Copies of this chain bind each other. A is one copy, B any other.
Amino acid sequence: MPYVNIKVTNEGVTKQQKSQLIQGVTQLLETILNKNPATTVVVIDEVETDNWGIGGEQVTERRKVGK
């Protein structure tokens, strides 16, 4: 029954990688907390780099200087 929301920047995450995240997180919750995988929900949000800030800066700008 857990609900997991994963937010990452929108920088080319593949369908396969999303599938691996969904599987991996669902397994963790089963292994660690004995949660039934059948009702574990995982939602992945891909956020534009203009819309994500860390250290007071847009990720778009950080990428330009190799951060």
User: Interface residues, chain A, CB within 8 Å of chain B?
Assistant: 1-9, 13, 15, 17-29, 32-33, 35, 37-47, 50-61
Asked if A15 and B58 make an inter-chain contact with CB atoms under 8 angstroms apart, the answer reads yes
Asked if A55 and B33 make an inter-chain contact with CB atoms under 8 angstroms apart, the answer reads no
Docked CA distance A51–B59 (Å): 22
Q: Name 15 extra pairs, CB < 8 A, besides A21-B28, A40-B56.
A: A15-B50, A15-B58, A15-B60, A17-B33, A18-B53, A22-B56, A23-B57, A26-B53, A26-B56, A37-B56, A38-B55, A39-B41, A39-B55, A40-B53, A42-B53
In the bound complex, residues from chain B placing their C-beta under 8 Å from that of A53 are 18-19, 21-23, 25-26, 40-44
